[in-house]
Structure 1
Amino acid sequence: MRKLLSICACSAGLASTQIACAYDLPALNLGLTSFMDGGLPAGGGWYVQQYLQNYSANHLRDKDGNDLGLPRHELDYQLALTQLSYLSDLRVGNASLGLNMLVPIIAHIDVDDGLDNAALKARSGVGDLLIGPFIQFDPIMGPDGPRFVHRIELQVNLPTGEYDRDRDINPGNNAWSFNPYWAATYWFTPKWTASLRAHYLYNGKNNAPVRALGDLDDMQAGQALHANFTTEYAVTEHLRLGLNGYWLKQISDTRFDGHEVSGRREKVWAIGPGAMYSFSPDDHLFFNAYFEQDAENRPEGTRVQARYVHHF
Structure 2
Amino acid sequence: MKKRLSTCLFTAGLAGAPLAGAYDLPALNLGLTSFMDGGLPAGGGWYLQQYFQNYSANHLRDQDGKDLGLPKHEIDYQLWLTQLSYLSDLRLGNGSLGLNMVLPVLTRMKVDDGLDNLALKGQGGVGDLLIGPFIQFDPVMGPDGPRFVQRIELQVNLPTGEYDRDRDINPGNNAWSFNPYWAATYWFTPKWTASVRAHYLYNGKNDEPVRSLGDIDDVQAGQALHANFTTEYAVTEHLRLGINGYWLKQISDTRFDGHDVAGRREKVWAIGPGVMYSFSPHDHLFANAYFEQDVENRPEGSRLQVRYVHHF
Give the secondary structure class of the aligned counterpart of 1:63.
coil
Asked whether 1:237 is paired with 2:241, we answer no
Q: Deviations over 1:239-288 (max 9, x none)?
A: 00000000000000000000000000000000000000000000000000
Instruction: Report if aligned partners of 2:19, 2:128 keep a CA contact under 8 Å in 1.
Output: no
Give the Å deviation of 1:170.
Answer: 1.3
Aligned residues: 298
1:275 aligned residue: 275
2:204 aligned residue: 204
Q: Deviations over 1:143-187 (max 9, x none)?
A: 000000000000000001111111111111110000000000000
Asked whether 1:46 is paired with 2:46, we answer yes
Question: How many percent identity over aligned positions?
Answer: 85
Asked whether 1:225 is paired with 2:259, we answer no
Matches of 2:51 and 2:205 in 1, distance apart? 29
Give the Å deviation of 1:5.
Answer: 2.8
Asked whether 1:188 is paired with 2:215, we answer no
Asked whether 1:132 is paired with 2:146, we answer no
Give the secondary structure class of the aligned counterpart of 1:169.
coil
Matches of 2:297 and 2:216 in 1, distance apart? 20
Give the secondary structure class of the aligned counterpart of 2:212.
helix
Matches of 1:287 and 1:179 in 2, distance apart? 24
Matches of 1:71 and 1:304 in 2, distance apart? 26
Give the secondary structure class of the aligned counterpart of 2:71.
coil
What does residue range 78-157 of structure 1 map to in structure 2 within 5 Å? 78-157=78-157
Task: Normalising by structure 1, report the TM-score.
Answer: 0.95
Matches of 1:273 and 1:78 in 2, distance apart? 20
Matches of 2:72 and 2:144 in 1, distance apart? 55
Matches of 2:92 and 2:124 in 1, distance apart? 42
Instruction: Report if aligned partners of 1:3, 1:30 keep a CA contact under 8 Å in 2.
Output: no
Matches of 1:5 and 1:277 in 2, distance apart? 29
Q: What letter corresponds to residue 91 of structure 1 in structure 2?
A: R
Q: What runs of 5+ residues in structure 1 fail to find an aligned partner?
A: 9-22
Asked whether 1:161 is paired with 2:175, we answer no
* Greater percentage in strand: 1
Instruction: Report if aligned partners of 2:17, 2:102 keep a CA contact under 8 Å in 1.
Output: no
Give the secondary structure class of the aligned counterpart of 1:185.
strand
Matches of 2:131 and 2:270 in 1, distance apart? 26
- The CA RMSD measured in Å over matched residues stands at 0.7
Matches of 1:304 and 1:164 in 2, distance apart? 28
Give the Å deviation of 1:7.
Answer: 2.0
Give the Å deviation of 1:212.
Answer: 1.1
Matches of 1:174 and 1:47 in 2, distance apart? 28
Give the Å deviation of 1:141.
Answer: 0.1
2:31 aligned residue: 31
